Amino acid sequence: MKAKLLLRIASVIMLLHTIGHTIAALTWKEAPNPAIQHVVDDMLNNRFDFLGRSVSIGDFYAGYGYSMIGVLLLVSIFLWILSNQLIRRMILPLGLFLVFLAVIELIYFFPIPAALSLLAGIVALMAYKKTDYSRADR
């Protein structure tokens, strides 16, 4: 497989990750049972002052979730752009970032997003290996 196709595959994988994350980020307050709803309510209702604002852990949780929608979408777009203009020196750090993200997702979140990030990272690193150093970056 050529590097262009590999990067497009990684881009689509990350787009799927973005869609799943967006659904989860927009529906996290809809708890599936009363015990989880109690935790969600506590996250939202216990407020404290932080840098001059009254906030809750739920505010931070939602904000980080919305921020990650942008990050994941940016990664997907960036992978697609790189598939059109192979900039070898950008593919390696992006592939390594995706592997790092997978580890964090596995430790702190869920196996499915971790698997998607890991797969996209591996595919991006395969694209890096396929790029011809003498022809890339032009």
Cβ neighbours around 10 below 10 Å, total: 30
H-helix segments, the chain: 3-27, 34-45, 57-84, 88-108, 111-130
The β-bridge partners of 47 are 56
What is the pLDDT at residue 133? 65
pLDDT at 59: 95
Domain that holds residue 64: 3-130
Would you tell me how many other CB atoms lie within 10 Å of the CB of residue 16? 16
Q: What is the pLDDT of residue 86?
A: 86
Residue 90 to residues 71, 82, 122: CA-CA distances in angstroms?
16, 8, 15
pLDDT value of residue 1: 85
Residue 135 belongs to a domain: no
Asked if residue 11 is part of any domain, the answer here is yes
Cα separation, 79 vs 49, whole angstroms: 40
C-alpha of 138 from chain center = 28
Whether 75 is in a domain gets the answer yes
In a domain, 136, yes or no: no
pLDDT at position 77 is 97
pLDDT value for 134: 55
Count of domains forming the chain? 1
Beta carbons within 10 angstroms of residue 5's beta carbon: 13
pLDDT of residue 135: 57
Sign of CA dihedral 66, 72, 78, 84: negative
In a domain, 138, yes or no: no
Tens-binned pLDDT, residue by residue, of the chain (138 aa): 899 999 999 999 999 999 999 999 999 998 889 999 999 999 999 999 999 999 999 999 999 999 999 999 999 999 999 999 989 899 999 999 999 999 999 999 999 999 999 999 999 999 999 987 655 555
Residue 8: inside a domain: yes
Q: Is residue 137 part of a domain?
A: no
The pLDDT of residue 132? 73
Residue 100 within any structural domain of the chain = yes
